[in-house]
Amino acid sequence: MKLLISRPLPEAVLTKASARFDTTIRSETTPMGPEELRAALRDYDLVLPTLGDLFSAEVFADVPEPRAKLLANFGVGYNHIDAATAKAAGIAVTNTPGAVTDATADTAMTLILMAARRAGEGERMVRAGAWEGWHPTQMLGLHVSGKTLGVIGMGRIGQAIAARCHYGFGMDVVFQNRSPKTLDMPATQLGSIPEVMAAADVVVVAVPGSAETHHLIGAEAFAAMRPHGVFVNIARGDVVDEAALIAALEAGQMGAAGLDVYEFEPKVPEALIAREDVVLLPHLGTAALEVREAMGLMALDNVIAFAEGKPLPNPV
């Protein structure tokens, strides 16, 4: 069977794929373009796409009888794939849950601490040669220990973040989730996103990207934040109304923000780049070799199961 891998992956993944399938590895690191997407459906039995490979309804409509029967997404988020349209076209879709949980939670912690303690700003000061030495009131930030964490979306990743904050930093936890959730740690579920934003010193967004979560966090939510509050997004960029975030920062409705994802990646608004109270990472959520290997091997497990006629381990 012919397999297309849309982006270079760790060598262990490519070696396993090439040993099992007639594998084409696309060399570009950018998302597939419109014609490449259509060719993927038309010319391959199996496709292993990832973030930014936009398999929209329009793409499927242009290939009414696709050869491809599986899109084995590299990543837990699959909002770049119209899964309902894929299913209607007879194409299964899988993802890689679990493999990304700890790494993404660790990135959230990185952003929480960097934003709260002004670490990015401080490093820029040192690199610019502007640091004049220690003094007692220099660059005072937010002490996160003992504060309240608010989590929007209490799935695997949200729970991993909450556990790190509660057990590691003694933080109380409040959260909002679309359905009732019972956890094996102390946490209080609140009824709305603004309630969580108002109750927390640190807010982390950990919902999946989808049409339902597009601009889930907007002006109303930001207006509820505490003036010293830290806002962190490690979910998907378009979950947050980026213009509303910028307006809230400019209005002093929060103390700092930490972002690993952006609404129009890889474009980052100059208004965010210019602010010292915002930490900006280049979508590093799962950027560790062993994690990316695990993601790739999990995606291949789905590909191999499909090829062997077995149940898919991770259907969406």
Q: Residue 67 catalytic?
A: no
Spot the catalytic one: 236, 242, 263, 292. Answer: 236
Separation of CA 247 from chain center: 23
In 3-state terms, what secondary structure has residue 312? coil
Structure tokens at 164: 């790190």
Residue 62 identity (one-letter amino acid): D
Residue 226 identity (one-letter amino acid): R
d(CA 120, CA 250): 19
Spot the catalytic one: 20, 67, 228, 283. Answer: 283
Q: For helices 289-307 and 11-20, what crossing angle results, to 10°?
A: 10
Q: Residue 283 catalytic?
A: yes
Spot the catalytic one: 195, 265, 275, 293. Answer: 265
Separation of CA 220 from chain center: 22
d(CA 6, CA 65): 21
d(CA 150, CA 165): 10
Paired sense of beta strands 70-72 and 46-48, if any: parallel
- Residues belonging to the active site: 236, 265, 283
